[in-house]
A and B are shown apart, each in its own frame.
Chain A
Amino acid sequence: MEKLDARGLSCPEPVIMIRKAMQSGGAAYEMVVDNPVSRENVTRYAQHEGYTVSVTEGDGEYTLTMTK
């Protein structure tokens, strides 16, 4: 599973980051973001690309696990 750290980055940067990663066609990605807007936008993009997204929250950070 490819892991990406988008903490501190504002949208659309986290979405651009996951889009670039997904171009390799991987089956699973894990991304950490630290604001709800990035959580929503990355989730929406991953869903659109056909991934199932699960989110765990802790200490103001969100870990998004995206699998196909």
Chain B
Amino acid sequence: MIDTKKERLVIVTAGLITGVIAAGLTKLGNPANMGFCIACFLRDISGALGLHQAAAVQYIRPEIPGLVLGSLAAALWKREFSPRGGSAPVTRFVLGFFVMIGCLMFLGCPFRMILRLAGGDGNALFGFVGFAAGILAGVFFLSRGYSLKRTYRQPAGEGGALPAIMVILLVLLVSAPGFIHFTETGGGPGGSHAAILVSLVAGLAVGALAQRTRMCMVGGIRDLILFREPKLILGFGAIFAATLLGNLYLGVFHPGFAEQPVAHTDGLWNALGMFLAGYGCVLLGGCPLRQLVLSGEGNTDSATAVLGLMVGAAFAHNFGLASSGAGPTGTGKLAVLTGVAVVSVIACANTFGKKQ
């Protein structure tokens, strides 16, 4: 039997710790309202590897390897490391790709959306409305039988591949060979970061906490709608509360819409970007953070989604799809609408197609 009170207490505690770490990372060097941002950090890593050439956003963010390896460590400790995969990997890659397009329209993943709200960024309210609507759209299909079919056991090497890539990324970060690109200090968000060890330890801690508690920004709203189950959204709320208090303590809570850090004021496209992100994430089974954590547990489908996110980031910057502080781009708007259409086709095909 499950002690739901204890379970809720644990996820609230984990959320509070995560929020404090997120606020602390901005004090220690990360961009404002960006203690964590899975989309932004994967985008920075794509840039560091030369997959895109946006000089302002290139850095191997140690938080990402930290999250995956923290989850791996927790999973090994609890004997939950289980290499599995084979549930529509290409579809998951495409979903990951378009989730990133949505995130870079808004300028943040669901995790950063919470952090932006906790920093007083009113534009994230539009993002939140779109995000919730996107989750509702996904739930519509889930409750009608949407499924990407079953996963199967995989060899240990397959499950360990993404964690191994994360170790290689850390080696590349520390050794800094010439072919890795790093944004210069003051040259953009990629140049703002906490010390490597601080970021890595923060990632490890949050990765382990997220693995144990199954924390997921999408799952919170999804489970509340589907099952009236509040566990995951309590974690969501705890992160918001702790980050808000942390920002107030640090004097970096700035309520308003204009001049918010790494954000734009186009409400409609903030909402539509997060609509696409929420919609795609429900069909993936979890937010970008959850995909990293599942990758650490040996889930190769989630690893494929992570690769889709990274390639989506590269496309977003190579083709001018990502927004900037000045606002969204025309091609970015077209990409988001295309994404909504593609995600809808995937949803319909995997809900109604199987009944034929």
A12 and B226 in contact (CB under 8 A), knowing A35-B82, A36-B80?
Answer: yes
A 1-37 contacts with B by CB, 8 A: 7-13, 15-16, 19, 34-37
Query: Taking the nearest CB of chain B, how far is it from the CB of A50, in angstroms?
Result: 13
Q: Is the CB of A45 within 8 A of B227?
A: yes
| Residue among A16, A48, A53, A60 facing the most chain B CB atoms (10 A cut-off) | A16
Q: In the complex, what distance in Å separates the CA atom of A12 from the CA atom of B82?
A: 18
Q: Is the CB of A47 within 8 A of B152?
A: no
Q: Is the CB of B87 within 8 A of A8?
A: yes
Q: Is A43 an interface residue (CB 8 A)?
A: yes
Q: In the complex, what distance in Å separates the CA atom of A12 from the CA atom of B152?
A: 17
Q: In the complex, what distance in Å separates the CA atom of A9 from the CA atom of B149?
A: 7
Q: Is A68 an interface residue (CB 8 A)?
A: no
| Residue among A36, A52, A53 facing the most chain B CB atoms (10 A cut-off) | A36
Q: Which residues of A contact B1 (CB under 8 A)?
A: 43, 47, 52-53
Q: Which residues of B contact A16 (CB under 8 A)?
A: 142-143, 226
Q: Which residue of B lies closest to A10 (CB)?
A: B285
Query: Taking the nearest CB of chain A, how far is it from the CB of B283, in angstroms?
Result: 11
A12 and B80 in contact (CB under 8 A), knowing A19-B227, A37-B214, A47-B2?
Answer: no
Considering only CB atoms and an 8 Å cut-off, how many residues of chain A contact the other chain? 23
Q: Which residues of B contact A36 (CB under 8 A)?
A: 78, 80
B229 partner, pick from A10, A35, A45, A53, beta carbons under 8 A: A45
A12 and B222 in contact (CB under 8 A), knowing A43-B1, A43-B2?
Answer: yes
A44 partner, pick from B2, B147, B153, beta carbons under 8 A: B2
| Residue among B82, B87, B226, B227 facing the most chain A CB atoms (10 A cut-off) | B227
Q: Is B324 an interface residue (CB 8 A)?
A: no
Q: Is the CB of B142 within 8 A of A10?
A: no
Q: Which residues of A contact B80 (CB under 8 A)?
A: 36
Q: Which residues of A contact B223 (CB under 8 A)?
A: 12
A60 and B82 in contact (CB under 8 A), knowing A15-B227, A19-B227, A47-B2?
Answer: yes
A12 partner, pick from B84, B148, B227, B231, beta carbons under 8 A: B227
Q: In the complex, what distance in Å separates the CA atom of A41 from the CA atom of B17?
A: 24
Q: Is B91 an interface residue (CB 8 A)?
A: no
Query: Taking the nearest CB of chain B, how far is it from the CB of A56, in angstroms?
Result: 14
Q: Is B150 an interface residue (CB 8 A)?
A: yes
Q: Which residues of A contact B227 (CB under 8 A)?
A: 12, 15, 19, 45, 48
Ranked nearest first, the 6 interchain pairs of A and B with the lowest CB-CB distance are: A8-B150, A8-B151, A10-B285, A44-B2, A43-B2, A36-B80
Which A residues are within 8 Å of any B CB, using their own CB? 7-13, 15-16, 19, 34-37, 40, 43-45, 47-48, 52-53, 60
A-B contact pairs, 8 of them (CB 8 A): A8-B84, A9-B151, A12-B219, A15-B226, A40-B2, A44-B229, A48-B227, A52-B1
